[in-house]
Copies of this chain bind each other. A is one copy, B any other.
Amino acid sequence: MPDGGALILVPTPAKSLGDYAAIVGTEIVDNLRARAERFRGARVLHVNSTSFGGGVAELLYTLVPLWRDLGVDTEWRVIHGTEPFFHATKALHNGLQGAPVPWTVEMRSHYLTVNEDNAEAFEGDYDFVVVHDPQPAGILTELIEDRGRPKGKWIWRCHIDLTSPHRPVWEFLEPFVRPYDAAIFTLGDYVPDGFSGPEIAVSCPTIDPLSLKNIPLDRAIVRQVLRRYGIDPGRPLAVQVSRYDPWKDPLGVIDAYRIVKREVPELQLALIASMASDDPEGWEYYRMTEEHRAGDPDVFLLSNLQDVGSLNVNAFQRAADVVIQKSVREGFGLVVAEALWKGKAVVGGDVGGIHLQIEDGRSGFLVDSVEACAARLLELLRNPSRAAAMGRAGRRRVRQRFLSTAQLSDELALLERLSG
């Protein structure tokens, strides 16, 4: 415990739900306010493992202040961890997604020690505690053992695809999450077979239309961002925003681009990723992707190393003639919602949360091979008005189901259930 104290509070700037009324309509906002009335003054704590980087931090950055605006006394805290602990929980994460990772006695011991220490540092009484992902999941068990069951309802929010976990890893984790009052999964399919104990809820992640990734940008800036990276705004552009890893299939995206390029020689492709300096696998896969690019000057591999932040990603998505998300495995794939929200037709892998977002043939296309991906890309590039119509359909769908307000509604529904 670096400073021997409580879990670290993450400050979040205030947000007003009223600002979202212009986007989703006042009726939805009024409804949220009315339903939240019974929880006014309730104390809610969110616990996760990091205050920046990654989708969970991004979600909490929006949702925590919106809950506060609803009158609920909401806090966000991150656990204290050690380097070997985070090394172990990275393996745990990959194992839960199905990778046959080693799960050694040392790793278990780091997991237990850090969860024990954080349970010991845990302070305060809450009406609801939402614990995100496996890293801090053990705190509840440690608390129960030390001090008896804490007050309030405890909710485990799992952001991971648990369809086919590596058994030893899930068998280790399962006893720690069983005592929760409720567990939230991203998709019904992700609830592990035979998992019982908590109330099960399903709620998908959402995007914040007022975040820097999604706010409107004017054309001049969009064009200037392209030029900064050497992309010609006057020529067609396909964009995929994803980490460099095999599940996102950047090599397959380049292959599909090459097929289309025979018909559309002017086509450019931008692959955009956030690279963590402590992620050697990501670097290795970046190197492979760079090799696969084979010096093609119309393929752009970009990352935060070239100063590609949220506003730039926003600009790239807006500049795209077509957006690709050719994942072969995907927790949810919020970049699809981000692109649809910008009125772009998306060609996406037929997996995970992507089919919830793309209605095949309506707001884009689902594909399961390089050839199918190429064929659909070509179809959209040749029919810009069809692509635009699909983009409009996608934007409507995102407005209904994948904006922050939809997630507030899901979370309210769970609090209502838990409060009888």
Q: What is A's interface to B at a CB cutoff of 8 Å? A: 11-15, 52, 210-212, 215-218, 220-221, 224-225, 227-231, 277-278, 297, 304-312
Given A311-B311, A311-B312, A312-B311, also A229-B13 (CB < 8 A): yes
A-B contact pairs, 10 of them (CB 8 A): A11-B297, A12-B230, A13-B228, A13-B230, A13-B231, A14-B230, A210-B224, A211-B228, A304-B304, A311-B312
| Pairs A-B, 7 closest by C-beta atoms | A13-B230, A309-B309, A311-B311, A277-B277, A307-B309, A215-B224, A307-B310
Measured between C-beta atoms, what is the minimum distance from A369 to chain B in Å? Answer: 32
Measured between beta carbons, the chain B residues less than 8 angstroms from A216 are 220
**Which chain B positions have C-beta within 8 A of A277?**
277-278
CA distance A52 to B230 in the complex (A): 15
By beta carbon, the residue of chain B nearest A228 is B212
Q: Is the CB of B307 within 8 A of A13?
A: no
**Are B311 and A227 interface neighbours, CB within 8 A?**
no
User: In the complex, how many angstroms separate the beta carbon of A59 from the nearest chain B beta carbon?
Assistant: 15
Closest chain B CB from A111 CB (angstroms):
25
Identical subunits present: 2
A310 to B304, CA, bound (A): 11
Which residues from chain B contact A227 at a C-beta distance below 8 Å? 13, 15
Alpha-carbon gap, A229 to B14, bound state (A): 9
- Given the known inter-chain contacts A52-B306, A307-B309, A309-B309, please indicate yes or no for A221 contacting B215, CB distance below 8 A: yes
Q: Are the CB atoms of B230 and A11 closer together than 8 Å?
A: yes
Inter-chain contacts of A312 with B (CB < 8 A): 212, 309, 311
Which interface residue of A225, A297, A307, A310 has the most chain B CB atoms within 10 A? A307
Q: Let me know if B230 and A212 touch, CB within 8 A.
A: no
Interface centre among A211, A225, A309 (most CB of B within 10 A): A309
Closest residue of chain B to A215, judged by CB?
A: B224
B215 touching A218, Cβ below 8 Å: no
Minimal Cβ-Cβ distance residue in B for A226? B13
A276 (CB) vs chain B CBs: closest residue? B277
Chain B residues lying within 8 Å of A15, measured Cβ to Cβ, are 227
Closest-by-CB residue of B relative to A16 is B227
Residue numbers in B under 8 Å from A309 (CB-CB): 304, 307-312
CB-nearest residue of chain B relative to A15? B227
In the complex, how many angstroms separate the beta carbon of A388 from the nearest chain B beta carbon? 24
Chain B residue with the shortest CB-CB distance to A274 = B307
A93 to B310, CA, bound (A): 33
User: Nearest Cβ in chain B — how far from A208, in angstroms?
Assistant: 10
- A175 CA to B87 CA in the complex, in Å? 48
17 additional A-B pairs beyond A215-B221, A218-B218, beta carbons within 8 Å, are A11-B297, A12-B230, A13-B228, A15-B227, A52-B305, A52-B306, A52-B307, A210-B224, A212-B224, A212-B225, A212-B228, A212-B307, A215-B220, A217-B221, A304-B309, A308-B309, A309-B311
Docked CA distance A308–B305 (Å): 12
In the assembled complex, which residues on chain B have CB atoms less than 8 Å from the CB atom of A304?
A: 304, 309
Least distance between A216 CB and chain B CB atoms (Å): 8
Q: With a CB–CB cut-off of 8 A, which chain B residues contact A310?
A: 307, 309
A14 / chain B contacts, CB cutoff of 8 Å: 230
